[in-house]
């Protein structure tokens, strides 16, 4: 009897900065995150943390020398036990969701996709890198968020 191939054993864990808070929609977002990591060839543990603008601003200032809030930060670890961590600024994501024509859930999903692609080696410093990363985001999300932002369909 042919055995079904075993999927790699790895975890995507979701955390909230504030004790007692829950990461929203984690049961819907975890399978997506696992799928992306498998497709990108990185079936490794990842932590995703949602928190305050202040938390993300502090991380951005400390590690990127940019003293401002941003929506998502990805930190590669490449350790045996952890590929990396993603930090998401909850309120920033809520504020920017309408700009992209998204609900909070859709924008949170987009931030997770974006963060996971960074952990998988994608970047957007140059126009060529940006094109590749945006194309992959479109494939995963099923639409071009940047075209929607500009009012195009």
42 annotated ligand-binding residue: no
Helices (H) and strands (E) in the chain, counts: 6, 4
Backbone φ/ψ region at 35: left (φ over 0), alpha (ψ -120 to 50), beta: alpha
78 annotated ligand-binding residue: no
Going by C-alpha positions, the residue among 88, 143, 150 that lies closest to residue 118 is 88
125 annotated ligand-binding residue: no
Report d(CA 150, CA 37) in Å as an integer. Answer: 29
3-state SS, residue 13: strand
C-alpha count within 13 angstroms, C-beta hemisphere, residue 140:
27
User: Which residues sit opposite 50 in a β-bridge?
Assistant: 16, 88
- The annotation places the binding site at 114, 118, 124
Annotated binding-site residue numbers for Zn(2+)? 114, 118, 124
């Amino acid at each position: 009897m042919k055995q079904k191939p075993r999927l790699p054993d790895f975890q995507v864990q979701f955390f909230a900065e504030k004790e007692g808070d829950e990461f929203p929609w984690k049961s819907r977002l975890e399978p997506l995150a696992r799928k992306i990591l498998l497709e990108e060839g990185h079936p490794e543990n990842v932590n995703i943390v949602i928190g305050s603008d202040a938390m993300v601003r502090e991380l951005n200032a400390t590690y990127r020398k940019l003293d401002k809030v941003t929506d998502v930060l990805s930190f590669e670890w490449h350790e045996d036990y952890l590929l990396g961590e993603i930090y998401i600024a909850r309120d920033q994501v809520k504020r920017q969701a309408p700009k992209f024509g998204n609900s909070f859930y859709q924008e949170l999903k987009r931030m997770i996709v974006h963060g996971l692609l960074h952990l998988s080696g994608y970047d957007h410093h140059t126009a060529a890198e940006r094109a590749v990363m945006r194309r992959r985001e479109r494939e995963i999300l099923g639409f071009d968020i940047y075209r929607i932002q500009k009012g195009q369909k």
